[in-house]
Structure formats: structure tokens, C-alpha cells
A = this chain, B = another copy of it.
Amino acid sequence: WMCFCKQEFSRFPTKTGRRSLSRSISQSSTDSYSSAASYTDSSDDETSPRDKTQINSKGSSDFCVKNIKQNEFGRREIEIAEQDMSALISLRKRAQSEKPLAGAKIVGCTHITAQTAVLIETLVALGAQCRWTACNIYSTQNEVAAALSETGVAVFAWKGESEDDFWWCIDRCVNTEGWQPNMILDDGGDLTHWVYKKYPNVFKKIRGIVEESVTGVHRLYQLSKAGKLCVPAMNVNDSVTKQKFDNLYCCRESILDGLKRTTDVMFGGKQVVICGYGEVGKGCCAALKALGAIVYVTEIDPICALQACMDGFRVVKLNEVIRQVDIIITCTGNKNVVTRDQLDRMKNGSIVCNMGHSNTEIDVASLRTPELTWERVRSQVDHVIWPDGKRVILLAEGRLLNLSCSTVPTFVLSITATTQALALIELYNAPEGRYKQDVYLLPKKMDEYVASLHLTTFDAHLTELTDDQAKYLGLNKNGPFKPNYYRY
């Protein structure tokens, strides 16, 4: 088995790199669950789960969680999540007549939350066996992990893992007697990385990888480009439905939520500049304009700039408005979009935050100089104070506001989870030859199917083409309805 390549992975995170990655992800996950209910007190028990012997009510001990006894609390959380994930529930109904994942042995590495649990239990209902671990050392909901373990899913995860724990858990998922995975569901690429590195032979049985994150997808494309990808992989990150929800629709709501929870700012009449008019920027602009803010846009791309004009926003350079705006929001994916020089010129009391990616957009490092005083006034809120007394309010230290200071609705997670489930079914059942050793986007028809499963939430009723109309349009009555390049 030759496609594994050390050099390839030499660019993979070192220990330090890994730590920083894990930290940047986990920060957001932790925050995003900060408002979730916490029913059980784990603080009384400092024993590492690795040192405990636990057994579920069925007599199995093939799992490792914080406290198996918390499973009832977790079950309730899962039940509540199920109410907003009807798409997966309707997939389960399929299981009554057919088991499209019968024989599938899925090893998964994702955030372990009530919503993921609904996904995992759907996979099981469709016929799969699952072993699961966490993609983030902070984000595991211990009660949910217990509930899954209680019903027989082999979960290895708890909140507050060390880095050593992290890789130990992954290893326990993959490396088990008499069970070899034939599908991988990954979020971030760490599980895939581990298998490549430690158990390359496992890939001989693997029918496909489903990857959810930008980072993981990027790694897969690099592998593919280098000719090192040895199984088909499905990029679910770039499906239309997921993209629109993760970016446009979700940010439209989370920008308001994030700003309110941290600063209680009134939006009406505020002057705001949004840097970047991509999907995220469009969502932020729409929401703030709708609530009475006066919004300016900066752009590098003239097409997006023209869209901003037609949507009613003045397109400016940041320096033109820096002295007058009350709020700056970065949504570019770029770095140093707001520089120290610009921060120096902001008004007293103005707010600066980031909705783009990672933490590079605002040059936060430049603010960590002796003449400026930092004052932490709330969680995620710092006042940076200039020598003349001017305060600039920095949110989440320049990290992603929507992940740090607001929550992701279950409905959005449902779209992602359903896309993952369908991608697994597609790869598992695809006839030989349909998918090669490459990275694929979800077929449009399946993207449409994900969307259709979510229409019931809105009591929306699709119109069906008549035979005559389908013929006139040259379409199959069941879709796909659009060419691949369609822009939506």
C-alpha cells in the first residue's frame, strides 16, 4: 500500500501545530455551547476516564466516557435535538424497508453533541455499526457521550481531553480486535491523518471518506493533487445547501446575536462598515440594514462591489469611514484587514469584531503593546484603552464572533448532518467505478434531496412537474433541476 506519503504529512500539524489547531477549534466549540443547559456536576470527579472501569447496562465496556451514569440526562438532550432534526428522522423511516448502510462499519470523528448523536443513531438505524471519537478536546457533551455508549455505540471522548487523550481516543476507535472500518466520517482530518499514518492497510477496505471541514477538505485536495489519495472522498463542506446556511442565512442571524450578547449595543442608527461582501458579508449587511444601521462595505472584487451597490450599500475604502463608524465587522478571509493604524483612528467606544475566518483579519497582535491597556469587561469582551482614554471594544480577541459569542441553530446542524448521512450512503452504495480516488462534491440531486427533507420544517409544498412540462424543459421530474454551474 503505497500511496501514503511521509513528506505529505510532514506538512501536517506537528504537536505544536496540532495544539494550536485544536485550540482554535475548541475555543469556538466550547463557547458555542456555553449557553446550553448543564444538568450534571462533573467537577466532583477528577479521575481520568482512561483510569476508570465503566460498564453499560448491556454489560459492554467498549467505550470510554466521563460517566456512563449520566446517560439519562444525555438521552433527554438527544430527544430535544431530534425535534429539530426531522430530516434525519425521516431518513430513519427508510430503515423499516431497506438498510442502505447494512454492513457499513463507520469510524467517526466529530464534535460529540446531541445533534451529532441524532446523526450517529440514524446511521445505526440505517444498518451501520459505529465507533466514534471527538474532533475537539473541549466540545464533547459528556452526558450525550454517555447516552450513546449506553445504547451500544463505542464512544471514546470526554470534555477536557489532553492532547495525548485525543490521539489515544482516535486510536481506540480504529484499532480494535475483530472490527475494521469500511467508511470514515471526519471533521478536520485528524482521524484520516491518523489512519494514513498508523494503519495505512485499513484503506484497503475503506469505501470512502466523508469530510466536513474546510481544513479537512483542503488536506484531501492536497492529497489528491499529489496523487496520494487512495479512496474516494466526498467534500460535504461545499454543497449548496450547507454553504448557504452556514454562511448567508446563519450569519444573518448570528451577527446580531453575537453583538447583542457581548455589548448590548443598539443597532438603530449605528454606522457600520462590513469588510467583504461574500456570503458572510451579505448576511451581516442584510441583518444590520434591516435593523436600522447605516452600512458601508469594503470590497476588493468589483463584481461583489457592484452587488453591494445595487443592494443599497456605499462601497468605500476603510480609511474613508474609519473615523466615523461605530462598528467594524470583518468578513473577508484575508489577513490584516484592520490594521493598528486604522484601530488608532477609530472613535471612542467603537466596536471591532470578526465574522470571517480564523483570527487573522484584525491585527490583534499589534494591540498588545505597552502603551495600550486591555481591560476584560465581560467574557469575550475587551476594552482596549489608548493613552488619551479612548476605548475600542474588541470582541472574542478577533476570533470568530459567531462561533465564540452566539450559537448555531440545530436546524443548520441538521442540514450538515443530513448531508453527511447521504454522502455516506452514496459512497457506500455506489457501483464500482462511479467514484475514483479523488475528491467529489455531493451530486446535485442529493443536494436537492437534503433540501427537500428540510422543507417540512417550514410546511413548504413543492410543485411537481407534469410529464409534459418535464419534456418541455428537458428535465427529469425528480431532478436534478439545475445545471452544475447554477449560481442560486
Q: How many copies does the complex hold?
A: 4
Q: Is the CB of B298 within 8 A of A463?
A: yes
Residues of chain A from 285 to 309 with CB closer than 8 A to chain B in the complex? 287, 289-294, 298-309
Choose among B35, B265, B391 the residue that contacts A409 (Cβ–Cβ < 8 A): B265
User: Is A1 at the interface (CB under 8 A from chain B)?
Assistant: no
Cβ contacts under 8 Å, A487 to chain B: 240, 243, 279, 487-488
User: Is A479 at the interface (CB under 8 A from chain B)?
Assistant: yes
User: Is A253 at the interface (CB under 8 A from chain B)?
Assistant: yes
Docked pose: A289 CA to B349 CA in angstroms: 28
Decide yes or no: A309 and B256 within 8 Å by CB, A301-B448, A336-B469, A463-B317 being known contacts.
Answer: no
Cβ contacts under 8 Å, A479 to chain B: 301-302
Cβ contacts under 8 Å, A292 to chain B: 249, 252, 309-312
How would residues 435 to 448 of chain A score, 1 for a CB under 8 Å from any chain B CB and 0 otherwise?
00000000000011
Q: Is the CB of A312 within 8 A of B287?
A: no
Q: Is the CB of A291 within 8 A of B287?
A: yes
Q: Is the CB of A461 within 8 A of B294?
A: no
Cβ contacts under 8 Å, A164 to chain B: none
Q: Is the CB of B458 within 8 A of A35?
A: no
Docked pose: A201 CA to B17 CA in angstroms: 65
User: Is A241 at the interface (CB under 8 A from chain B)?
Assistant: yes
Cβ contacts under 8 Å, A410 to chain B: 264
**Chain A interface size, under 10 / 10 to 19 / 20 to 34 / 35 or more:** 35 or more
Choose among B83, B253, B265, B318 the residue that contacts A291 (Cβ–Cβ < 8 A): B253
User: Is A261 at the interface (CB under 8 A from chain B)?
Assistant: yes
Main SS class of interface, A: mixed
How distant is A451 from chain B, measured CB to nearest CB, in Å?
4
User: Is A365 at the interface (CB under 8 A from chain B)?
Assistant: no
Docked pose: A320 CA to B348 CA in angstroms: 24
Residues of chain A from 415 to 467 with CB closer than 8 A to chain B in the complex? 447-449, 451-452, 454-455, 457-466
Decide yes or no: A294 and B313 within 8 Å by CB, A35-B261, A465-B300 being known contacts.
Answer: yes
Q: Is the CB of B306 within 8 A of A454?
A: yes
Q: Is the CB of B264 within 8 A of A261?
A: no
Residues of chain A from 362 to 408 with CB closer than 8 A to chain B in the complex? 377-378, 391, 406-408
Cβ contacts under 8 Å, A193 to chain B: none
User: Is A68 at the interface (CB under 8 A from chain B)?
Assistant: no
Query: 8 tightest A-B contacts by CB?
Result: A290-B290, A315-B460, A302-B452, A269-B309, A266-B409, A302-B451, A268-B310, A301-B481
5 contacts between A and B (CB under 8 A): A241-B306, A252-B291, A287-B291, A294-B313, A301-B482
